[in-house]
Amino acid sequence: MLTALLAFIVLLLLRVPIALVLGIVTVLYIIISGSMGMLDTVPQRLFSGLENYSLLAISLFMLAGEIMNSGGITRRLVGFAQVLVGHFRGGLAYVNVVSNMLLASIIGSANAQIAMMSRTMVPAMEKEGYDRGFSSATTAASGLLGPIIPPSMLFIIYGVTSGTSIGAMFLAGILPGLLLGFSFVGLIAYLGYKEKWGSQRRKSLKEVSKSFFNVIPALSVPLIIILGIITGAFTPTESAAVACAVAFVTGFAFYRELQIKNIPKIMVNTAITTATVTLLIGMANVFGWLLSRERLPQEFADWMMTLTENPLVFLLLLNVFLLLVGMVLDGIAALIILVPIFMPMLATYGIDPIHFGVIICLNLAIGLLTPPIGAGLFIASSISEVRIERLTRAILPFLIVSILGLLLVTYVPQLVTWLPNLLN
Amino acid sequence: GGGDENSSTEASGEGGEHTFTLTHITQTSHGWHDTAMKFDEELQELSDGRMDLEIYPAGEIGSEADMLQQMESGDIDFGIITNAYMSTRDSEFNAWFMPFVFEDLAEAVEYRGIQPAQDMLEGLSEQGFVGLDFIFAGNRHILNASEPVESPEQLAGQSIRITDGPAIQDFWDEVGAGPTAMPLPEVYTSLQTGVIDGIDIDLDALITENLYETADYLTMSNHMTWPAVVMMSEISHDGLSEEDQDIVREAMKNAIDWGVQDAVEREEANLAEAEELGMNINELDEEEFSEVKETLHQQYAEESDIIAEFLEETQ
Amino acid sequence: MTLLKKVSDTIYSFERVLAIGLCTIMFLSLFLGVVFRYLLSSPLIWATELATFALVWVTFIGGSMGIKQHKAAAVTFLVDKLHGVMRKVLISIGFVIVVGFSVFMIYISISWLSSPNISVQTSTALGVPMLIPYVSVLIGFIFILIHSTLLLVEAAVQEGGQ
Ligand code: NA
Ligand code: NA
């Protein structure tokens, strides 16, 4: 494993694309361990890692974002938000966080959310003078709320693998989600004060109403998504395709900024940005398969159990362990492997399964934003064209706040259990 | 440390030690996992501790296509693969999906040894597998969010989530409902918001996937049974001495004899739990579906001799 | 080298057309899936499967285009810091590794696809041979090999890399 780790670092430094680095390391490990029969499985596993319905949402939300930008929809939505909150210092950054919180209440996946918002918010914020790294970091960090504020794919999978009520998990996520969202707002306020960001003058009522009139057709995009999901017309994954269609009609027929001749370029861009992310996820799946085949996560978890009998220390170790796992494994794969291992331990330490579920899912969501393998980080990086190193630096304050939030959620279980207990 | 699990199955001959590997798609709380653990016990006992089993549950090492690929190359020794997936590779397996053949699960499991079923297992040698046996999850029933199901007419125009597979699709098309494909994790919220009206499901999934939280009406239709094919990698099989092959077969037979009884008991326990959870439960009058049944039986019997024979033996 | 460049550029234009077609299929099948289920009450059972297969193809075609366009996610800070021969050597080694890995992937993909069991596999909803989506892995790495070979030659020949 040490050789593999070393190879991993060297290959990264040689500017080999990260997706390929994962594949090369997996193959090297197999060759060194001498189990050549496993090599045949590499392309098969790569394929089936990609044959995943939920990846479609990432790709189609990227497409929707492209269409919204070309069709003048994003500009008007952001312009309207600017008119309302532009006189606050850091106004647009708050808009980013709050719209992510709203989006999180209809979408269950952080990656899909980051894909959509990076395409729209980052250019808009940059245009208003925000640093692109900061804009991209704000977007990626707020996307983390996607699987915490219900609905949530991670909670559903946790519910199923652990035998916990999914409805209760959804309720449990609300307070931690709000807590994180408002912590990000606080962080932005602090950064804005420290960096002395400017603000615009308050707009007159006439300007507000003109901008509102302008934005009405653009509002149809989020509105139709929200209504469609709530009324059961389509699933959150399908909403990505509906968003493309609505954005196309609005940009083409109402604003007349979208032209048929733009479409090929939009599609090509989408294909390249999608592939940057999905190829990485596919290769990470091959790598994850190797880890589970070798039972490394299991061995590590078993070893951790031997370290302490104190539940508070156990929870701390658990968080460290999960953060490390989240760095290298995809969230859903990690849940499937780890939950059955940890469930029997919970009784020993007297930990509520709902509380544990929120801890594990929050950890794995944070893992999406941590190098070296953070799908969310790469989505934000490739869409907003900010280099990974720069984005990592910009996202650090948000990660620190998230980890503080995680610790709070870990040691104040009432934050998680209060709402489900109240309503059951 | 790498690869030692793999090399251990290569050591063969009298008295060789074997740590076999087995993989399946279900959670560790599912009956198939318990059967796999039973197989481990039987292996250890019958071989005087020379053999044991390592289990990769819940699709940990990939989808069913991945599992079979790893078995084909001899990297994984055993697999419990759903009949639904196997039917996409070999249409004879559709025999088990003929609608309204078995009264209930207890009846279905009695037929696992019949000749046409053995013929299906033997056909697997063409793909590099040794078919060992069939194992069962609960029978298929209908869970509906808004009303108890009584007749095919009532299902017309409803979106029913199904597990993909040609015969399953044909059944729901013939009923006149709209069969919908959707990954299982999306079903919970989709039933809640009404994207789908119902789901073709077994009782075990109903309980473990918490779907009773979002849909109230359970119709005990027993319209299909839900087997999995238990098989071994041919490479692993051929690497064993004849004595050891016998031990493996006997251990597996014992485990599955136990497993099918366990499945029948689970079916009853799950039904009791559904009642306890306050679900609205009704029985389906099979007569209402007799036309659908006749049409499909005839169509599939014409396509395959094995299916024709299967239907003859089970009627 | 000019021949290599011509081949790589021709493939890239071909990939552009494929990418446009695949994105359209992905969008249309999901969108029509909603229309047929919600408005016409007759769901298209194959819609999600077709969209998923299109996505797998997009991954390999778009991934290969990304490598040609230097858009694949990579860590660049060390290479950015270096100049002259050192930079040229490091970049070239990186490309040699990409070329080598592509050759390896092509080799194991061919061995995987030529197994007799591939031909018996059909997809669950559409019922098409699984070879159709599977072959995307092979084609993708063939294209990656061609593009990265050109990049390697360019990096080794040109002053200070690309
Ligand atoms: Na959410
Ligand atoms: Na990570």
pLDDT tens-digit readout, B182-205: 888 789 889 999 999 999 999 988
Interface size A-B, in CB pairs within 8 Å, comes to 107
Q: Average pLDDT of chain B?
A: 92
Judging contacts by C-beta atoms under 8 Å, the chain B residues touching residue C116 are: 127-128
Model confidence at B129, pLDDT cuts 50, 70, 90, reads very high
| Distance between Cα B187 and ligand 1 center (Å) | 16
Asked if residue A276 belongs to a domain, the reply is yes
| Distance between Cα A115 and ligand 2 center (Å) | 16
| Distance between Cα A374 and ligand 2 center (Å) | 3
Rg (CA), chain A: 22
Q: In the predicted model, is pLDDT for residue B4 greater than 50?
A: no
Q: In the predicted model, is pLDDT for residue B178 greater than 90?
A: yes
pLDDT of residue B1: 29
Asked if residue A398 belongs to a domain, the reply is yes
Q: For residue B203, give the nearest of B220, B228, B186, B227 by alpha carbon.
A: B220
Domain carrying residue A260? 42-423
pLDDT of residue C159: 53
Q: Give the gap in angstroms from C-alpha C80 to the nearest C-alpha of chain B.
A: 37
Residue list, CB under 5 A from ion ligand 1: A 104, 108, 146, 149, 152
Asked if residue A228 belongs to a domain, the reply is yes
C60-105 pLDDT, tens digit per residue, is 999 999 999 988 878 777 888 888 899 999 999 999 999 999 999 9
| Distance between Cα A237 and ligand 1 center (Å) | 12
pLDDT of residue B196: 95
- Cα C155 to Cα C91: distance, rounded to the nearest angstrom: 7
Q: In the predicted model, is pLDDT for residue B2 greater than 80?
A: no
| Nearest-by-Cβ selection for B70 from A41, A151, A235 | A41
Q: Is the complex ipTM higher than 0.90? A: yes
Model confidence at C160, pLDDT cuts 50, 70, 90, reads very low
- Cα B79 to Cα B61: distance, rounded to the nearest angstrom: 11
Asked if residue A2 belongs to a domain, the reply is no
- Cα B55 to Cα B78: distance, rounded to the nearest angstrom: 9
Highest mean pLDDT among A73-82, A127-136, B12-21, C136-145: C136-145
Q: In the predicted model, is pLDDT for residue B7 greater than 50?
A: no
Question: How many Cα neighbours within 13 Å face the side chain of A361?
Answer: 34
CB contact under 8 A, B88 and C121: yes
Q: What is the DSSP letter of A253?
A: I
Residue of chain A nearest B195, judged by CA positions? A232
Percent of chain A topping pLDDT 70: 98
Q: Give the gap in angstroms from C-alpha A168 to the nearest C-alpha of chain B.
A: 10
Of residues B148 and A202, the one with the higher pLDDT is: B148
Amino acid identity of residue A41, one-letter, is: T
Q: In the predicted model, is pLDDT for residue A305 greater than 80?
A: no
Q: In the predicted model, is pLDDT for residue A52 greater than 90?
A: no
Model confidence at B12, pLDDT cuts 50, 70, 90, reads very low
For residues B255-276, give the mean pLDDT. Answer: 97
Number of domains composing chain A: 1
Least confident of A203-217, A291-305, C11-25: A291-305
Model confidence at B113, pLDDT cuts 50, 70, 90, reads very high
pLDDT of residue B15: 65
Contact C61, C19 (CB under 8 A): yes
Q: Which residues of B74-99 are buried (b: 16+ CB within 10 A; e: fewer)?
A: bbbbbbbbbbbbbbbbbbbbbbbbbb
Asked if residue A20 belongs to a domain, the reply is no
The H or E element that residue A161 is part of is: helix A153-162
Neighbours of chain B (3+ CB pairs under 8 A): A, C
Model confidence at B14, pLDDT cuts 50, 70, 90, reads low
Assess B79–C contact: CB distance below 8 Å, yes or no.
Answer: no
Asked if residue A381 belongs to a domain, the reply is yes
Of residues A342 and A183, the one with the higher pLDDT is: A183
Q: For residue C71, give the nearest of A276, B143, B256 by alpha carbon.
A: A276
Asked if residue A3 belongs to a domain, the reply is no
Place of tokens 């190098």: A371
pLDDT of residue C54: 98
pLDDT of residue A89: 80
Q: For residue A43, give the nearest of A283, A274, A281 by alpha carbon.
A: A283
B50-93 pLDDT, tens digit per residue, is 999 999 998 889 999 999 999 999 999 999 999 999 999 999 99
Q: Give the gap in angstroms from C-alpha B49 to the nearest C-alpha of chain C.
A: 35
For residues A68-82, give the mean pLDDT. Answer: 84
| Distance between Cα A327 and ligand 2 center (Å) | 3
pTM exceeds 0.80, yes or no: yes
Asked if residue A4 belongs to a domain, the reply is no
